[in-house]
Amino acid sequence: MQLTEPEITAKTAVQLGLSKEEFDKIKEVMGRTPNFTELSIYSVMWSEHCSYKNSISLLKTLPREGKRLLVEAGEENAGLVDIGDGLACAFKIESHNHPSAIEPYQGAATGVGGIHRDIFTMGARPIASLNSLRFGNPDLKHTKNLVEGVVKGIGDYGNCFGVPVVAGEVYFNDCYNQNILVNAMSVGVVKQGETVSASADGPGNLVFIVGSRTGKDGMHGATFASADLHSESREDLPAVQVGDPFQEKLLLEATLEAIKTGAVVGMQDMGAAGITCSTSEMSAKSKTGMVIHLDKVPTRQDNMMPWEILLSESQERMLIVGKAGEEQALFEVFEKWDLECVQIGEVTDTGMLEFYFKGEKVAEVNAWSLVLGGGAPVYERPISKPAYFSEIKKFNLNKVNVPKDIRAAAKKLFASPNLASKRWVYEQYDSMVRTNNLSTNAPSDAAIVRVEGTVKSLAVTVDCNASYVYADPYVGAMIAVAEAARNIVCTGAVPVAITNCLNFGNPYNPEVYYQFVNVIHGMGEACRKFGTPVTGGNVSFYNQSVIGDKTEPVYPTPVIGMLGILEKPEHHTTLDFKSEGDAIFMLGNSYNDIGSSEYLNVIHGIHHSPVPTFDLHEEYDIQQHVKRLIHGKHVRSAHDVSDGGLFTALMECAIAGGLGFNIETVETFRKDCFLFGESQSRILLTIAPEQEDAIQNYLISNNVSFTKLGEVFGTEVLIDDENFGSVEEWKSLYDNTLGERLEHRNGF
């Protein structure tokens, strides 16, 4: 190999995001000093974003096996679950946080595009999209601009691509003022046996790049995502990719058609690290190698350097390994869809990636040495309990006064941006394209998406209350899994598996790593209890902001994307009140507990308090009984009690059904705790009057804690005989508050 580049030193490696020790390891692996292109390859593949070097040892402790799982966690681009009828569901959630914080429209749009490609790369057609968004103070002009850009980016890309957004969540907290979180989830369906692996089997087979041309957008995006945001981060704007949803739609149809030709051996999306990642991961998986001619890669700009072509994260591209001699079938399919399909290399049996440019070998690296699960470094960092735990221990419920005017407190709480309707957001998304979304006119705790050609549907949800995780990472993570399962069960479906998006600060911070370690332990315990193995997902570290001399991590935010299966249409249960006179039951225990509640934050301005009361075994038992009652057709509506407590849950049921309620609180509890506390494992059910005695007998005989609160009543809200106003009044507050707050721009 002829090397014409200047001497490469440890300083060069550090500038590219590697450590001196990692540079030494690279030299040891290669048996020589790498050139700049080779070092660039290692810098992206050994970045946190690609290698998971600070998380993989812990991720492997999560439950990764289940009778419905068709591939192991992390084995393919997305999880794959048997849903019966000869079909499988591919689903996954990933983050696009840093790009969205710098350029919200393209950052969010390309996050949506990237996660959909992970699904259809496996041969599955995406049928649903979800998202989990975190922003800072909604009154800041900066936050309003970010919200507007992110929502428009998600909406424009998804609407043009033609996949409905069926569910999501939006939270606001000052900890996300600079570093927002944008997590996107895609769900697809494929016939079993028609999936494609991200493999490069068969030396002599051909390597193709298909889709868009390669440009300089997205350069060093993986490295960008593996560092803190700071005041100069906008200078890294070239790391943000630019998306084209119409091109992605063509790529979707072309790749699914190409699979049917039988000429495709393996396929992988070019996401983080571009050609570098797809060539190395596919080769390492198959224990093969590749010879790649970079000058054959179609480019958008002239005179791109080899390392630029290798590291570009331009969107809407795939790497395909095709059967030698059958390439004409691939050329014809992609020509039909007006997409480029260019052979850029071939598979070898050497285990090496050999990159050429205009006849000169510019890089030669061992594929296995680059990848997660191969030669990429693995670390476990020191941990220490967060200092703010001492503030949580100081919390004293007796020093928090019960509001004299409960109705006024309820109104102020219900107007919180974390509880108010997110209609301003979701109305910018297309939720009805392909007409399989069954939740649009009949809201339920999880989205229900019909599986064409069968009687079953998929139930999907994303959940995480980061305030709980901040207060207690172990218990908070269990609650995130439990709430996701609770939402699935309340629809009449059965939880099957999860994907996760783990958003944290800098892993080199011992307090952040303490949060991460305990979240993994809590998540694992809950997933084992609910029988929902982890199919894969994403770890996003470095979500923090450097402001002056101070570094502030975001709240630990392990978002759970859960999949459930609704076997029969008659099991589908919605949250809206159905008929006047129906009895309102609350299953589960209440406590004198307002820990980490929205009420404590909004009404009392207290930000450090214990995690809400939670018992994993009680939670599991409650869910099993609710499932039996729903499947036995004893339940008219079901809704979990979560953010905002019992009052918010009741109001959501009332607003959805246009009917009021008349309830009584329980005198043994503080009124604010009973109405606004967020203790877990509680579910609201409405029961027809003629079923009431039978349900009470069932609950008593099975030792299920419950409270009969009252009944569905007229169009007014009555609590302890006090009239809180009409449902229509509360609906107006619920529907319009967030939009009015976000659109008030102080003259902007």
Residues identified as active-site: 49, 96
Angle at 148 between CA 146 and CA 153, to 5 degrees: 95
User: How many other CB atoms are found less than 10 A from the CB of residue 596?
Assistant: 27
Which structure tokens are listed for 193?
A: 């046996």
Quote the distance between the C-alpha of residue 152 and its chain's center.
18
- What b/e string do you get for 691-721 counting C-beta neighbours within 10 Å, with b at 16 or more? bbeebeebbeeeebebbbbbbbbeebbbbee
**DSSP code of 555?**
P
State how far the Cα of 36 lies from the Cα of 7, in Å rounded to an integer. Answer: 9
Give the separation between CA 523 and CA 515, rounded to whole angstroms.
12
Cα end-to-end span (Å), the chain: 58
Q: What is the largest CA-CA distance in the chain?
A: 87
Task: Report the candidate in 468, 464, 716 with the shortest Cα–Cα distance to residue 580.
Answer: 716
Rounded-to-integer distance, Cα 99 and Cα 231, Å: 14
Backbone angles phi and psi of 100, in degrees to 5: -70, -30
In 30-180, DSSP assigns E strands to 79-84, 87-95, 125-135, 165-172
Collect all residues with Cβ–Cβ distance below 8 Å to 397 and sequence separation of at least 6: 592, 593, 594
* Closest by Cα among 568, 641, 38, 485 to 46: 38
CA distance 383 to 29: 30
Neighbouring-strand partners of residue 703: none
Say if CB 274 and CB 292 are below 8 A apart: no
Distance of alpha carbon 642 from alpha carbon 680, whole angstroms: 7
Query: Which backbone phi and psi does 436 adopt, to 5 degrees?
Result: -105, -5
CA distance 169 to 146: 16
In 3D, which of 483, 550, 12, 77 has the Cα closest to residue 267? 77
